[in-house]
Amino acid sequence: MTESGKADRLRQARQKAGFRSATAAAAALGAKPPTYTSHENGTRDFGDAEAARYARAFNVAVQWLVFGIDGDDASAPDAQPAAGLNERLKRRDPKRADAGHRVYELDVRAGAGSSGVAAFAENVTRNGVTVSKDVVSAEWSIPADYLNGELRIGADKAWIVEVFGDSGYEPTNPGAPGSLFPGDRVIIDTSDTRPSPPGAFAVYDGVGLVIKQVEVIVSTDPVRLRLTSRNPAYEPYEVTVEEARIIGRVRGRISAM
Protein backbone atom coordinates (compact mmCIF):
# COMPACT_ATOMS: atom_id res chain seq x y z
CA MET A 1 0.00 0.00 0.00
CA THR A 2 1.30 3.43 -0.89
CA GLU A 3 1.43 6.35 1.52
CA SER A 4 -1.75 8.42 1.43
CA GLY A 5 0.16 11.62 0.61
CA LYS A 6 1.61 10.11 -2.55
CA ALA A 7 -1.81 8.92 -3.71
CA ASP A 8 -3.38 12.27 -2.78
CA ARG A 9 -0.80 14.13 -4.84
CA LEU A 10 -1.48 11.87 -7.82
CA ARG A 11 -5.19 12.65 -7.55
CA GLN A 12 -4.49 16.39 -7.25
CA ALA A 13 -2.21 16.28 -10.31
CA ARG A 14 -4.84 14.41 -12.35
CA GLN A 15 -7.56 16.90 -11.39
CA LYS A 16 -5.36 19.93 -12.15
CA ALA A 17 -4.56 18.40 -15.54
CA GLY A 18 -8.27 18.48 -16.36
CA PHE A 19 -9.21 14.81 -16.07
CA ARG A 20 -12.59 14.57 -14.32
CA SER A 21 -12.15 10.95 -13.27
CA ALA A 22 -9.47 8.35 -12.70
CA THR A 23 -11.05 6.27 -15.47
CA ALA A 24 -10.70 9.12 -17.96
CA ALA A 25 -7.06 9.61 -17.01
CA ALA A 26 -6.35 5.90 -17.37
CA ALA A 27 -7.88 5.88 -20.85
CA ALA A 28 -5.74 8.85 -21.92
CA LEU A 29 -2.63 7.17 -20.52
CA GLY A 30 -3.41 3.83 -22.12
CA ALA A 31 -3.35 2.25 -18.65
CA LYS A 32 -5.69 -0.32 -17.15
CA PRO A 33 -8.34 1.58 -15.14
CA PRO A 34 -8.16 -0.74 -12.09
CA THR A 35 -4.37 -0.32 -11.94
CA TYR A 36 -4.41 3.44 -12.20
CA THR A 37 -7.33 3.72 -9.76
CA SER A 38 -5.47 1.62 -7.19
CA HIS A 39 -2.49 3.99 -7.47
CA GLU A 40 -4.71 7.01 -6.93
CA ASN A 41 -6.70 5.58 -4.02
CA GLY A 42 -3.57 4.32 -2.30
CA THR A 43 -4.30 0.60 -2.28
CA ARG A 44 -1.31 -0.12 -4.52
CA ASP A 45 2.06 1.61 -4.75
CA PHE A 46 3.62 2.77 -8.01
CA GLY A 47 7.30 2.80 -8.88
CA ASP A 48 9.75 5.19 -10.51
CA ALA A 49 8.77 4.42 -14.10
CA GLU A 50 5.07 4.93 -13.41
CA ALA A 51 5.78 8.09 -11.41
CA ALA A 52 7.75 9.54 -14.32
CA ARG A 53 4.93 8.63 -16.70
CA TYR A 54 2.27 10.26 -14.54
CA ALA A 55 4.42 13.33 -13.93
CA ARG A 56 4.88 13.88 -17.67
CA ALA A 57 1.20 13.35 -18.39
CA PHE A 58 0.00 15.70 -15.65
CA ASN A 59 2.80 18.32 -15.92
CA VAL A 60 4.15 17.98 -12.38
CA ALA A 61 7.63 17.33 -10.99
CA VAL A 62 8.48 13.72 -10.21
CA GLN A 63 10.01 14.76 -6.88
CA TRP A 64 6.79 16.55 -5.93
CA LEU A 65 4.65 13.57 -6.92
CA VAL A 66 6.75 10.97 -5.08
CA PHE A 67 8.10 12.93 -2.12
CA GLY A 68 6.02 16.09 -1.89
CA ILE A 69 9.12 18.29 -2.06
CA ASP A 70 9.49 21.53 -3.95
CA GLY A 71 10.96 21.63 -7.43
CA ASP A 72 13.39 24.31 -8.56
CA ASP A 73 10.71 26.93 -9.20
CA ALA A 74 7.43 25.39 -8.09
CA SER A 75 5.94 22.47 -6.25
CA ALA A 76 2.24 22.65 -7.12
CA PRO A 77 0.58 20.76 -9.98
CA ASP A 78 -0.70 23.95 -11.58
CA ALA A 79 2.80 25.27 -12.26
CA GLN A 80 3.87 25.48 -15.91
CA PRO A 81 6.18 22.76 -17.24
CA ALA A 82 9.76 23.71 -17.91
CA ALA A 83 9.40 22.49 -21.48
CA GLY A 84 7.08 25.46 -22.07
CA LEU A 85 9.84 28.02 -21.50
CA ASN A 86 10.40 28.78 -25.16
CA GLU A 87 6.68 29.17 -25.78
CA ARG A 88 6.34 31.61 -22.88
CA LEU A 89 9.31 33.59 -24.22
CA LYS A 90 7.65 33.76 -27.62
CA ARG A 91 4.55 35.33 -26.11
CA ARG A 92 6.73 37.95 -24.40
CA ASP A 93 9.31 38.56 -27.11
CA PRO A 94 8.91 36.68 -30.43
CA LYS A 95 12.32 37.76 -31.76
CA ARG A 96 14.11 36.44 -28.69
CA ALA A 97 12.29 33.08 -28.85
CA ASP A 98 13.13 32.72 -32.54
CA ALA A 99 16.80 32.86 -31.56
CA GLY A 100 16.46 29.42 -29.98
CA HIS A 101 18.95 26.68 -30.79
CA ARG A 102 17.85 23.21 -31.85
CA VAL A 103 19.14 20.53 -29.49
CA TYR A 104 18.59 16.80 -30.02
CA GLU A 105 17.18 14.54 -27.32
CA LEU A 106 18.55 11.01 -27.56
CA ASP A 107 16.41 8.01 -26.64
CA VAL A 108 19.20 5.95 -25.09
CA ARG A 109 17.62 5.43 -21.65
CA ALA A 110 20.46 6.98 -19.71
CA GLY A 111 21.34 6.21 -16.34
CA ALA A 112 20.19 5.52 -13.38
CA GLY A 113 20.28 2.31 -11.63
CA SER A 114 21.92 0.41 -14.41
CA SER A 115 23.50 0.95 -17.78
CA GLY A 116 21.41 2.49 -20.49
CA VAL A 117 20.19 0.63 -23.52
CA ALA A 118 22.87 0.13 -26.16
CA ALA A 119 21.53 2.35 -28.90
CA PHE A 120 24.66 3.63 -30.59
CA ALA A 121 24.96 3.20 -34.30
CA GLU A 122 25.83 5.88 -36.84
CA ASN A 123 25.20 9.37 -38.22
CA VAL A 124 25.95 11.82 -35.36
CA THR A 125 29.32 11.74 -33.56
CA ARG A 126 30.43 13.18 -30.20
CA ASN A 127 33.77 12.33 -28.63
CA GLY A 128 34.21 9.08 -30.47
CA VAL A 129 30.65 7.83 -29.93
CA THR A 130 28.38 7.83 -32.95
CA VAL A 131 24.60 7.64 -32.71
CA SER A 132 21.94 6.86 -35.25
CA LYS A 133 19.26 9.34 -36.22
CA ASP A 134 16.85 6.61 -35.16
CA VAL A 135 17.64 7.32 -31.50
CA VAL A 136 16.82 11.03 -31.78
CA SER A 137 13.48 11.10 -29.99
CA ALA A 138 12.86 14.86 -30.00
CA GLU A 139 14.24 18.23 -31.01
CA TRP A 140 14.22 20.98 -28.39
CA SER A 141 14.37 24.68 -29.15
CA ILE A 142 16.36 26.27 -26.33
CA PRO A 143 16.76 30.07 -26.12
CA ALA A 144 20.23 31.12 -27.20
CA ASP A 145 20.59 33.42 -24.18
CA TYR A 146 20.12 30.45 -21.86
CA LEU A 147 22.13 27.83 -23.73
CA ASN A 148 25.10 30.04 -24.63
CA GLY A 149 24.97 32.53 -21.78
CA GLU A 150 23.73 30.66 -18.71
CA LEU A 151 24.99 27.14 -19.49
CA ARG A 152 27.92 28.21 -21.69
CA ILE A 153 27.29 25.47 -24.26
CA GLY A 154 27.54 25.80 -28.02
CA ALA A 155 24.41 24.58 -29.81
CA ASP A 156 26.39 22.00 -31.79
CA LYS A 157 27.90 20.63 -28.57
CA ALA A 158 24.68 20.00 -26.61
CA TRP A 159 22.70 16.80 -26.19
CA ILE A 160 19.61 16.15 -24.09
CA VAL A 161 19.06 12.74 -22.46
CA GLU A 162 16.22 11.47 -20.29
CA VAL A 163 17.09 10.01 -16.88
CA PHE A 164 15.78 6.58 -15.90
CA GLY A 165 16.10 4.73 -12.61
CA ASP A 166 16.85 5.85 -9.07
CA SER A 167 20.62 6.27 -8.85
CA GLY A 168 20.45 10.04 -9.29
CA TYR A 169 19.12 10.89 -5.84
CA GLU A 170 19.62 9.92 -2.20
CA PRO A 171 16.32 8.34 -1.03
CA THR A 172 16.70 9.75 2.48
CA ASN A 173 17.44 13.25 1.13
CA PRO A 174 15.74 13.58 -2.25
CA GLY A 175 15.68 17.36 -2.04
CA ALA A 176 19.48 17.71 -2.09
CA PRO A 177 20.80 20.11 -4.77
CA GLY A 178 21.75 18.34 -7.98
CA SER A 179 19.40 15.39 -7.50
CA LEU A 180 18.14 13.76 -10.69
CA PHE A 181 14.81 11.96 -10.87
CA PRO A 182 13.25 9.56 -13.38
CA GLY A 183 11.74 11.59 -16.19
CA ASP A 184 14.20 14.48 -15.81
CA ARG A 185 16.19 15.51 -18.86
CA VAL A 186 19.82 16.49 -18.54
CA ILE A 187 21.58 18.90 -20.87
CA ILE A 188 25.05 17.58 -21.69
CA ASP A 189 28.00 19.70 -22.80
CA THR A 190 29.94 17.36 -25.08
CA SER A 191 32.84 19.82 -25.30
CA ASP A 192 33.66 19.30 -21.59
CA THR A 193 35.02 15.80 -21.00
CA ARG A 194 37.60 16.47 -18.28
CA PRO A 195 36.42 15.43 -14.79
CA SER A 196 38.44 18.18 -13.16
CA PRO A 197 36.70 19.42 -11.19
CA PRO A 198 34.65 16.27 -10.47
CA GLY A 199 30.97 16.35 -11.27
CA ALA A 200 28.07 14.70 -13.06
CA PHE A 201 28.93 13.35 -16.51
CA ALA A 202 27.36 11.25 -19.23
CA VAL A 203 29.61 8.23 -19.74
CA TYR A 204 29.50 5.52 -22.38
CA ASP A 205 30.44 2.42 -20.40
CA GLY A 206 30.56 -0.04 -23.29
CA VAL A 207 26.91 -1.00 -22.89
CA GLY A 208 25.06 2.30 -22.97
CA LEU A 209 24.93 5.82 -21.69
CA VAL A 210 24.90 6.36 -17.92
CA ILE A 211 24.83 9.50 -15.79
CA LYS A 212 27.34 9.26 -12.93
CA GLN A 213 29.42 11.39 -10.60
CA VAL A 214 32.95 11.12 -12.04
CA GLU A 215 36.29 11.92 -10.44
CA VAL A 216 39.91 11.19 -11.30
CA ILE A 217 41.74 8.81 -8.96
CA VAL A 218 45.05 10.54 -8.33
CA SER A 219 48.42 8.87 -8.95
CA THR A 220 47.09 6.08 -11.17
CA ASP A 221 48.77 4.92 -14.37
CA PRO A 222 46.94 4.46 -16.61
CA VAL A 223 44.55 7.11 -15.33
CA ARG A 224 41.54 5.63 -13.59
CA LEU A 225 38.15 7.15 -12.88
CA ARG A 226 35.75 6.54 -10.02
CA LEU A 227 32.07 6.45 -11.04
CA THR A 228 29.62 7.06 -8.20
CA SER A 229 25.85 7.24 -7.83
CA ARG A 230 24.05 9.54 -5.41
CA ASN A 231 22.00 6.56 -4.24
CA PRO A 232 24.18 4.52 -1.85
CA ALA A 233 22.36 1.36 -2.95
CA TYR A 234 24.70 1.37 -5.95
CA GLU A 235 28.36 0.68 -5.29
CA PRO A 236 31.01 3.00 -6.79
CA TYR A 237 33.24 1.40 -9.37
CA GLU A 238 36.52 2.23 -11.08
CA VAL A 239 37.41 2.18 -14.77
CA THR A 240 40.25 3.39 -16.94
CA VAL A 241 39.74 6.36 -19.23
CA GLU A 242 39.82 3.98 -22.19
CA GLU A 243 37.19 1.69 -20.66
CA ALA A 244 34.65 4.45 -20.10
CA ARG A 245 34.46 7.26 -22.61
CA ILE A 246 33.18 10.49 -21.13
CA ILE A 247 30.61 12.00 -23.48
CA GLY A 248 30.19 15.28 -21.66
CA ARG A 249 29.48 17.17 -18.44
CA VAL A 250 25.92 17.63 -17.20
CA ARG A 251 25.24 21.35 -17.29
CA GLY A 252 21.53 21.60 -16.75
CA ARG A 253 18.34 19.79 -15.89
CA ILE A 254 14.85 20.03 -17.35
CA SER A 255 12.03 18.93 -15.04
CA ALA A 256 8.28 19.08 -15.36
CA MET A 257 6.91 21.27 -12.59
Question: Which residues fall within 8 angstroms of residue 210, CB to CB, at 6 or more apart?
Answer: 110, 111, 112, 114, 115, 116, 202, 203, 227
Question: Which residues fall within 8 angstroms of residue 121, CB to CB, at 6 or more apart?
Answer: 130, 131, 132, 134, 135
Residue 175 DSSP class: T
Which of helix, strand or coil describes residue 134?
Answer: helix
Verify that 50 and 166 share a domain, yes or no. Answer: no
Verify that 96 and 211 share a domain, yes or no. Answer: yes
Verify that 245 and 171 share a domain, yes or no. Answer: yes
User: What is the C-alpha to C-alpha distance for residues 69 and 78, in angstroms, rounded to an integer?
Assistant: 15
Give the pLDDT of residue 12. 92
Verify that 108 and 186 share a domain, yes or no. Answer: yes
Verify that 142 and 74 share a domain, yes or no. Answer: no
Verify that 92 and 119 share a domain, yes or no. Answer: yes
Alpha carbon 201 to its chain's center:
13
Verify that 179 and 205 share a domain, yes or no. Answer: yes
Verify that 114 and 223 share a domain, yes or no. Answer: yes
Give the pLDDT of residue 72. 42
Enter the pTM of the model.
0.60
- 101-120 pLDDT per residue, tens: 778 887 765 444 443 333 33
Verify that 64 and 102 share a domain, yes or no. Answer: no
Domain interval for residue 65 = 4-78
Verify that 204 and 248 share a domain, yes or no. Answer: yes
Verify that 53 and 165 share a domain, yes or no. Answer: no
How many domains is the chain partitioned into structurally?
A: 2
Give the pLDDT of residue 49. 77
Verify that 73 and 114 share a domain, yes or no. Answer: no
Give the pLDDT of residue 85. 34
Nearest to residue 211, comparing CAs of 157, 160, 168?
168
Instruction: From first to last of the 257 residues of the chain, give the pLDDT tens digit.
Output: 456 688 999 999 998 888 888 988 888 888 888 999 999 998 988 887 788 888 888 888 888 888 887 554 333 333 333 333 334 334 444 444 445 677 888 776 544 444 333 333 334 444 454 555 556 777 888 887 788 878 888 877 888 888 888 889 999 988 888 899 888 889 999 888 888 889 999 887 666 678 899 999 988 888 899 999 999 999 998 888 878 788 899 999 888 66
Alpha carbon 125 to its chain's center:
21
- Widest CA span in the chain: 62
